[in-house]
Structure 1
Amino acid sequence: MSIHMDALDQHFTLPKTREVAANSPMVWLQKGWRDLWAHPGPSLMYGVIVTLIGALVLSLAAHHPYLFTTSITGFLLLAPLGAAGIYELTSEREEGRPTSFIQSIRDLLANLGQLGFLGLALGMVAIAWERFSAILFAVFYGGQDVTLAGYISSLTGEFLPFTLVWTLAGFLLAFLVFGLTAVSIPMLADREIDSITAMMTSLRVTSENRVVMIQWAALIVFLTAIGFVTVVGLVVIFPLLGHATWYAYKDLVE
């Protein structure tokens, strides 16, 4: 069934959007890579901060399976908000202003209201997902105290229904959040616009470029997974994806 987003114009005045070429995700990554090394110091600083926070959260949740898996999902939900400062860096450079970590924080704080609203919405989604995962664990595991190793080894046996339900629910939630945040946060860094309009614009470009955006989402998940496995790699991968997302926004929104 085709998804039509024109009805959004009845409720929102949205910026014009574009359809992009099939190879656009790789082009965004190439541009993001060049942008990362145009100001490596402040960009990598964001990568270090996010990596340290991610490592801390995972270490705290390591002995609680549902918290461990939920924390990874929560990271993917909230990571776009953490990249807001990276978008400010690129915006500063494009405007010919000096780029620095401190200045990007100042610019970020200048639009804190709309970003805060979006962050609150994403935080509520993450909390709801954590509660949903806890309920699923309680239902399928019957209140057992399951270790992480036991949880991983049981994903295919009698608990296969749990695995399928949890994975499907996570996929649907992640796709919805990706649709709402694909370009909305860089839009808030670049324009005087409210968060609702930014999210609706993001939803529209995701709908209009479904194949390309599915490829882009898959690349983000793949590279983030590499970052989690290597830990240190996330220091580079996170700002790389942040800069690449800026160029995705520039291509998708006029």
Structure 2
Amino acid sequence: MSNTNNPYLPEMATVREIIQETHNIKTFRVTLNNEARMKAFSFEPGQVGQLSIFGVGESTFVINSSPTRMDYLQFSVMQAGEVTSRLHELQVGDQIGVRAPLGNWFPYDKMKGKDVVIVGGGIGMAPLRTLLLFMLDNRDDYGKITVIYGARSPQDLTYSYEFDEWRAARDVNLVLTVDAEAPDWEHKVGLIPNILLEENPASENTVAVTCGPPIMIKFTLEALKKLGFTDENIYTTLEKRMKCGVGLCGRCNIGTSYVCVDGPVYSFAQLSKLPNEL
């Protein structure tokens, strides 16, 4: 449900917890100040929100908590510009603006009864975490889940404090990789698309979901095609292209498609019909 009658008006929220994920990524757990609105808040896995620092601006981030776990809303922020730098200065108890939920979501209903392959790189694990937790909390609805997650170094992996929970879930295979050898690293070493090919997940009755840097997605898509996945069964999310979030400013278009109206979640079958602007 929408949490305000005016999509342009942010809800006030309080920062409840801050987690330092990596040297340049922080996770913020927030709650809406209006208790009734917070209690009634609902969203779908993959939807996004706009976080605003008043007097500075706002930016789009996926809600990377799960709708099955509603004690707070979680957003992970990579420091990259003025707004994100100011967000990184926040302390527990500070106030921010939240406009959410916005956009479409991962088609989890279509994934029921199927195996799921999740391929994430760096901060790209944020939207995938949402889908993963949702599926773990509805475990009987889905088949085997393969999670391939990589980053440049072990220090660049987010949500490492949850890896044990993911591994412990029934029929979940968590594969971690980094680009180069690192001290005390006991997992895979290699680029994500190569590790994906090495793992060789079956494409039959399987859906793949990927998110990460554009170059990673490009070669991951090639690897998935080699494994037999069709464009219709591969999904990604483009929330980083979103600006206003409500189709007003026109700055997130890919050809005739507006990411904040038609996305941020797309199948590659949909993207293949649009100009190659990624």
Higher helix share goes to which structure? 1
Give the number of the structure with larger relative contact order, counting CA–CA contacts within 8 Å between residues 6 or more apart: 1
Q: Flag whether TM exceeds 0.5 (same fold).
A: no
Q: What TM-score bracket applies, with the shorter chain setting the length?
A: under 0.3
Normalised to the residue count of structure 2, the TM-score between the two structures is 0.25
